Structure 1
Amino acid sequence: MASSIAHPSAVGTNTQPKRSTVSSTETPTQAAPEASTDDSQLPPQRHAGALGLGPAYGQGAGLGEKLGGLQEEIKGKIMKKPELVEHGRERRTGILKKKEQEQNDEEDPFAKPEN
């Protein structure tokens, strides 16, 4: 009962497969551009090189930080300490982690010592 004809909804309308103009025995006449070895044009590398893990990886608040921040907020509300509530809110939203990261960025261990 299987038919060799495809259903009309499975076939695109007015489509043709693209054909290559270069045969398999011919080589392209255009040479590939050479990679520049001048490092001054490259931006600084700010990640480990793994795909998907850029400089913004892990900068937000994780699950543990969110739960800890919520716990601090509740504790601050029960004890009526607004500074603890604010600290918990900053921890929960990731503001505290961002502040710590900015503070660590100021202390760059790879910076050249000034003599």
Structure 2
Amino acid sequence: MSSSDAHPSAVGTNTQPGTSTVPSTDAPTQATSESSTKDSQVPPQRHAGAVGLGPAYKQGADFGDKLGGLQEEIKGKIMRNPELVEHGRERRTGVLKKKEQEQQDEEDPFAKPS
């Protein structure tokens, strides 16, 4: 297989088939500066895999939680019940969901999250 059959990213810079991959001392250092400029133009990877998926996927409050929390807050304010207002605020901001997840992790840390 020649280097023309290989994908460009699979072929090293300034390499010939059958030659040593150890750089010599008399080799020009210009090739390394070219590769570093190419690397500096590539934006840093900030995620692993598909965007939005990972260990923190669906841990915050979703739209239903936000509406339900707002409803509880309003109901608590009308009824003058500060505990209900606080519960609604925690539900709306996602703090309640986080507390429930921590409690579930304490009970069985190897259970799959639903």
TM-score range, shorter chain: 0.5 to 0.7
Query: How far off its partner does 1:51 sit?
Result: 3.9
1:84 alignment partner in structure 2: 84
Q: Distance in 2 between matches of 1:102 and 1:59?
A: 11
Other structure's SS at 1:60 match: coil
Shift of 1:54: 1.9
For the pair 1:97 / 2:97, whether they are aligned, the reply is yes
Q: Which residue of 1 aligns with 2:14?
A: 21
- 1:110 and 1:58 map into 2 onto residues whose CA distance is 18
* Paired letter, 2:13: S
Change (3 A) 1:105 1:66: same
Provide the rounded CA distance (Å) in 2 between the counterparts of 1:64 and 1:93: 12
Query: What's the C-alpha RMSD, in Å, of the aligned pairs?
Result: 2.7
SS of 2:72's partner is: helix
Show structure 1 runs of 5+ residues with no match: 1-18, 31-48
The residue type equivalent to 2:81 in the other structure is K
Higher helix share: 2
Would you say 1:54 and 2:47 are equivalent positions?
A: no
Give CA deviations for 1:51-101 in whole Å, capped at 9, x if unaligned. 442221111111110111001000111111111101000000111001000
Q: What CA distance in whole angstroms lies between the structure 2 residues aligned with 1:98 and 1:57?
A: 13
| Letter of the 1:75 counterpart | K
Q: Which amino acid aligns with 1:72?
A: E
Aligned residues: 73
TM-score normalised by the chain length of structure 2: 0.54
